[in-house]
Structure 1
Amino acid sequence: MSKHLSDLLLTPAEMAAVDKAAAASGIDSFGLMERAGAAVAAAALRLHPAALRFVVLCGPGNNGGDAYVAARHLQEGGATVALFHLGDPSKLEGDAARARAGCALQAQGLELYRPESGDVIVDGLFGAGLGRAVPAAVRTVIEQVDEADIPVLAIDLPSGLDGRTGKVLGAAFRARNTITFMTRKPGHLLMPGRELCGELAVFDIGIPARIVRAEAGGIIAENKTDAWKAVLPPEQLETHKYKRGHLVVFSGEADKTGAARMSAASGLRAGAGLVTVAAPHAAIAANAAHLTAVMLHAIDGEAELEDWLSDSRLQTFVLGPGFGVGARARAYVTALADRRLVLDADGISSFKDDPHQLFDLFQGEPRLVLTPHEGEFSRLFPDIGGDDALGKVDKALAAARRANAAVVYKGADTVIASPDGRALINTNAPAWLATAGSGDVLAGIIGGLLAQGLPAFEAAAAGVWLHGEAARRAGKGLTAEDLAAAVLPL
């Protein structure tokens, strides 16, 4: 677990438990609200020194209480402030009611707000706890603010975002900045929440670290090196190529060999001791014309594969990139059921008609890594993929449990999930990584790490992180070939 609280991800329910535990320990909960509101006001003044008017929107809960405190501090700081509330403020309770009572500004109903030039919105309507679609009055204001292009500073989360899933609940503000407290939520990292939050800052309001950590489930985290560096193989001078692992990548037919070569090159650069492309006899020449450090082995069917697998050093495989969809892929996967396998692209789609045929092969200690994009995920897990009540992390975890595999649910917010309930959200991938062939490179990187002995989940997570770092290194305008060349071992 990270040493820094700001690196943790707590769900809204876990953060609510932190607040409750802090109050139970004797910490002044209104003091926490006071510090939160003061931090918001300070951020507003720092970020928008030229604002003509701060429009503070106060909701019916503690997020609204933070907003009332912020409004008071803004006014005391000499700013022009307009206050608007959602619902009946006389029904506020506890700290939120106290915050409202301490704010001398006269508030108006939210429906009366009209955007003016020079406005800056301070959004304290809902925060992370929203679990339903926003009311019509809120949707109207969101649309007005968006149309007028008024900057928004969100408290905790832009109103309308689900703090656990990052989903938009009917409508949501697009914040230029978001300030949250103590830790982040999954919704800050998952799309579209990550984009809608704008620049995110985490402010320590004084809850002791021991209380925060006690309530942190640790099930969902950001994909950083702390999550997997402990299982990386040690660097040893006395070693040889087989100790660093042998990775095999299956090639497609003669006119579909490029994807496998990119996977193979990436696996080699990720640190595998040696890499072999296993190709049909008819595709050997096409592959040989482009390969040097990567070896070649001819295989035309199941019988030849079974014979080759008698070599016990062959333990780790990548199947799918450019391989072709169909019975041959299913037969090869069946032959590899007792080995470590990264199944990608065509390999995944080959099991769309009977996914459990695949899942039944890989029971026991997880040794299968699945790397689906959204379409492939829905082919393999149609009921999970089609469940709109689930967020991306929930879907990836459900899929990992069903398949007994590490699942890399790809996208701008790639989620890596383990059958044991762990999930990581990746954040280091730049936008220009979305290019043809990048998935082939990722499959090879993960295969190279698996070959070196990393467990399936850690190999998948480290591979996704390395993939993002390679893209940053290669820069904008990269091709998959550039990406593979930019991969560096851990």
Structure 2
Amino acid sequence: MPPHTYHAPLPIVTPQTMGRIDAAAIGSGIEGYRLMLIAGSAISACVLEYYSEAVGAIVLCGPGNNGGDGYVAARYLAEAGMPVLLYSSIEPERLKGDAGRARADWSGPVYPLEELDCMPGYVVVDALFGAGLDRPIEGLIEETIAAITASALPVVAADLPSGISGRTGQVQGTALQAEHTVTFAALKPGHLLLPGAGCSGETHLVDIGIPRRVIDEHNEAMWRNDPALWGADLPVTGAAGHKYTRGHLCVFSGSFSHTGAARLAAHSALRSGAGLVTVLSPSSAVAANASHLTAVMLRKVEDQSDLDELLVDQRLGGFVLGPGFGIGEKLRQFALSIVKAGRSCVLDADGISAFSDGPEMLFALCRENPLNTVLTPHDGEFARLFPDLHADAELSKVDRARKAAERANAVILYKGADTVIAGPDGRVVINNNAPPWLATAGSGDCLAGIVGALLVQQMPPFEAAAAAAFLHGEAGKRAGEGLIADDLPDAIPPLTHYQSDNRGRG
């Protein structure tokens, strides 16, 4: 498959930044009402495309420009011949600016929200709050959401379902469940972070005429994970390449009864392009590992002196430590030695939990050395390593990952259905291609192996972690529903599928 030139990666911006982008676009000479007309037409087009057989549309309009989008959508739906019932959460006369103009251009009746009638066969257009809401839903709006939820009518949300914080993705007390969400100019964190991602249904990103340069000028170094971000950094094997130029990764095994995790990581690393992979096994588990390994090599590593001897060999480019290893001082000393030696290190599972009672020594070593460490915690492991960040309810998952990466001087691959990858420099990607059936025992071990393989092939740590999360999700899709972790390594797609030809880009 030939190299591919990818489209620009999709930026993600917070609602506050989106407000500044809107203002900058209007300040550059773009008419605000024109943007509203395009947004409203996109909402109406979504309704007509997916719900053409609906009896009619119930349009809910709130304060501000989100309500204005709703008025525009209502007008276009009526002009298309769809019966429309429009309900407002405020007195319509209170709408000002572009939203007031949209209200004036609507010729139909406006009913108070208190009179809402969830008539069977209708589709609901939710233009109450959008992405900017960051306070609890209560009172009449709470009752309205409950009524719509009970009615089971389909919902098309303008920008974001009402009740979801666009900044954090959290439910503000209660929220609508949309089947489709139409958002504008750029994605918001709430579209990709849970539970907001689940409430948004299918998200449609619409270009409403804001120039990309204006969005880029307000770049928050946050993107949806995509090969466009790292395709140019994927390793390429030349004609003169050999196994050592493709990197040598070592994966530590646990004891006799805990060897499977290391083998999953090792197998995944080979499938991800590493030239050589060696499982480092305690003597008690050598026989168990030897009976299962073929292309993966095996070496006995019992104690610190064995590891010190290994670290003399500069061809050993990276290590995966933690899966099935067991928590204790041995693991901590192994990890510290690897980081101090300047080798690439993926700390996963027990490799993270082992430092829960005192991570500062690890972080100090990471700060003293070039960036070469990737930590891959799930939510529980993150809480053990960064308890203060995890407990701060004001922080989004993105905020927590960013602060953790800066503190540790390591790349944080914060796992979940909404995996967040953050670097110490503030860059963040949110990965959303993982199918739900990827949540199975051993899946994370495979992910750790993919990260390690890309690191030993000289991929930068942030890009390696982002690429690994994406490849892991694609492997889950290829393996299919009902997969077990054993299926994942052989389902990892070849790196050549995602290599781009825009190398040397700025």
- Shorter chain as normaliser: what TM range? over 0.9
| Alignment coverage as a number of residue pairs | 488
Deviation at 1:431, TM superposition (A): 1.0
Deviations 1:254-277 (A, max 9, x none): 111111111111111111110111
The one of 470, 481, 485 equivalent to 1:480 is: 485
CA distance in 1, matches of 2:60, 2:6: 35
Deviation at 1:332, TM superposition (A): 0.8
TM-score, normalised by the number of residues in structure 1: 0.96
The one of 338, 341, 352 equivalent to 1:348 is: 352
Matches within 5 A, 1:216-295: 216-217=219-220, 219-295=221-297
Q: 1:323 to 1:332 in 2, by over 3 A?
A: same
CA distance in 2, matches of 1:404, 1:58: 46
Deviation at 1:3, TM superposition (A): 7.3
Give yes or no for contact 2:276–2:296 (8 Å, CA) kept in 1. yes
Structure 1 runs (4+) deviating above 6 angstroms are none
Give yes or no for contact 1:6–1:182 (8 Å, CA) kept in 2. no
- Give the alignment's Cα RMSD to 1 decimal: 1.5
CA distance in 2, matches of 1:481, 1:308: 29
Deviations 1:65-116 (A, max 9, x none): 1111111222222222111111233222111111111212222221221322
CA distance in 1, matches of 2:136, 2:45: 30
The one of 451, 469, 480 equivalent to 2:456 is: 451
Give SS of 1:239's match: coil
1:316 is matched with: 318
Give yes or no for contact 1:132–1:169 (8 Å, CA) kept in 2. yes
The one of 381, 389, 394 equivalent to 2:394 is: 389
Give yes or no for contact 2:7–2:228 (8 Å, CA) kept in 1. no
CA distance in 2, matches of 1:51, 1:356: 59
The one of 198, 202, 206 equivalent to 2:205 is: 202
Gaps of 5+ in 2: 496-506
CA distance in 1, matches of 2:457, 2:9: 32
Residue identity opposite 2:329 in structure 1 = A
- Are positions 1:133 and 2:136 aligned together? yes
Residue identity opposite 1:96 in structure 2 = A
Deviation at 1:307, TM superposition (A): 2.0
Give yes or no for contact 1:186–1:220 (8 Å, CA) kept in 2. no
Q: 1:46 to 1:486 in 2, by over 3 A?
A: closer
CA distance in 1, matches of 2:229, 2:248: 25
Give SS of 1:416's match: strand
Matches within 5 A, 1:76-475: 76-217=79-220, 219-337=221-339, 338=341, 339-363=343-367, 364-475=369-480
Give yes or no for contact 1:65–1:100 (8 Å, CA) kept in 2. yes
Deviation at 1:305, TM superposition (A): 1.4
Deviation at 1:45, TM superposition (A): 2.2
Deviation at 1:210, TM superposition (A): 2.6
Q: 1:5 to 1:172 in 2, by over 3 A?
A: farther
Q: Which sits farther off after the overlay, 203-212 or 411-420?
A: 203-212
Q: Which sits farther off after the overlay, 64-73 or 374-383?
A: 64-73
Gaps of 5+ in 1: none
Q: Which sits farther off after the overlay, 338-347 or 104-113?
A: 104-113
CA distance in 2, matches of 1:489, 1:203: 32
CA distance in 2, matches of 1:433, 1:104: 50
Ranked by relative contact order (alpha carbons within 8 Å, sequence separation 6 or more), the top structure is 2
Residue identity opposite 1:348 in structure 2 = I
CA distance in 2, matches of 1:58, 1:201: 20
CA distance in 2, matches of 1:3, 1:462: 14
Deviation at 1:58, TM superposition (A): 0.6
Give yes or no for contact 1:5–1:183 (8 Å, CA) kept in 2. no
CA distance in 1, matches of 2:218, 2:435: 32
Give yes or no for contact 1:416–1:457 (8 Å, CA) kept in 2. yes
Give yes or no for contact 1:6–1:183 (8 Å, CA) kept in 2. no
Q: 1:133 to 1:449 in 2, by over 3 A?
A: same
2:42 is matched with: 39
Identity of aligned residues (%): 52
Deviation at 1:405, TM superposition (A): 0.6
CA distance in 1, matches of 2:46, 2:289: 57
2:499 is matched with: none
CA distance in 2, matches of 1:475, 1:240: 33
